Amino acid sequence: MQVLGKPYRTIWRSQEDPNIVQIIDQRHLPHRFVVEDLRTVDEVAIAIRDMHVRGAGLIGATAGYGMYLAALEASSAGSPQAFLEALEESGEKLIATRPTAVNLEWAVKRQLDVAQKAHSDLFGLVQLARETADTIADEDADFCRRIGQHGLPLLREIAERKNGEAVNVLTHCNAGWLAFVDYGTATSPIYAAHDAGIPVHVWVDETRPRNQGAGLTAWELGQHGVPHTVIVDNAGGYLMQQGLVDFVITGTDRTTFTGDVANKIGTYLKALAAKDNGIPFYVALPSSTFDWEMEDGVHEIPIEQRDSSEVKYVIGSRDGEVMEVLITPEDSPAGNYAFDVTPRRLVTGLITERGICGAAADEVLRLFPEKRR
């Protein structure tokens, strides 16, 4: 996507030194655009844990590159066996950083699987890790682009029904290109519609506590010229009742193959309000975000609990100076549940890189038959 007219992905290898991984440090957006260099697997673990990068697909791609940096570090191990052990250790370190987004473990396991199956010397193993990291990133971008193409007819159909009046889409958190390598998931059909000349307007939930909607989704929609309005998290239900929302679309950090959707805290409430008002509620995801083992997402998906300081303090900018302010009594405890799970019965459909299906095991497995057990 474009930033100030220049095309960017969210993660890439440095042109000067391909052993340096570069990311957009999202903690500074929307106030400053900062690119950060990652040189070690420890730096990658910090970047994921402290949310310099975030969002399911980007966490996966970053973990893929983290495993490449881990492979570079392990190449001094002496033997392929010692290399693999060091790689496994780094993989465990990365997986421990954030528990809900399944793409993290998926990318680490994919790297380990490639290394374990390769009969190669240390040089070859490092090369394979680099190629796999690049492939994970390229695939993520391509799958998101396809999600946009599959979702586009849904928005076009609403636009036709409204005789050219803008289609009002509501989204929660940031499942935009900043949460992936490019395009995003929830935003991809929106960008596709906008680029096709379909008038779209996006209601952007601010998404407390970290305000990924207000700070990131609003910023990237603005960069692409998509009309949008930031709203407080509690406004969605009212707007739906008043007929001001035509379509709700979110991303997801983990979706069971049975159709239960883990996403940023507050998503469940939007799905309930959408159901009550007869508004379609879609979830967009690449296949890397499916959990192919778990059946009962509501009770089994681990929900990350983050530091209470994210609830008690808000970061903002005044006269160009970025500052953090306390918004609660200093001593009040705060709970910080980062995700919730929307049960499949509230989900109209899942938009994947292979097409759209219902939120049910048989429908998901019809699109991904190779995952049948």
Q: Can you give the binding site for ligand MRU, defined by CB under 6 A?
A: 54-56, 173-175, 179, 185, 212, 250-253, 263-264, 338
| Cβ distance to ligand MRU smaller for residue 90 or 103 | 103
d(CA 145, CA 123): 34
Question: To the nearest whole angstrom, how small is the minimum distance from the Cβ of residue 179 to ligand MRU?
Answer: 4
Q: How long a stretch of residues is the chain?
A: 373
Question: To the nearest whole angstrom, how small is the minimum distance from the Cβ of residue 139 to ligand MRU?
Answer: 15
CA dihedral 326, 327, 331, 337 (to 10 degrees): -100
| Cβ distance to ligand MRU smaller for residue 22 or 250 | 250
C-alpha distances in Å from residue 165, one per residue of 99, 122, 159, 204, 279: 42, 59, 7, 19, 17
Catalytic (active site) residue 246: no
Please provide the DSSP assignment of 243-269 as one string.
T--SEEEE--SEEETTS-EEEETTHHH
Question: To the nearest whole angstrom, how small is the minimum distance from the Cβ of residue 284 to ligand MRU?
Answer: 9
CA atoms 160, 162, 164, 169: torsion sign: negative
| Cβ distance to ligand MRU smaller for residue 172 or 312 | 172
Question: To the nearest whole angstrom, how small is the minimum distance from the Cβ of residue 75 to ligand MRU?
Answer: 31
Please tell me which residue in 246, 253, 260, 340 is annotated as part of the active site.
253
| Cβ distance to ligand MRU smaller for residue 238 or 337 | 337
- DSSP 8-state assignment for residue 227: -
d(CA 238, CA 205): 13
User: Shortest CA distance to 229 belongs to which of 213, 248, 240?
Assistant: 213
Instruction: Enumerate the active-site residues.
Output: 253
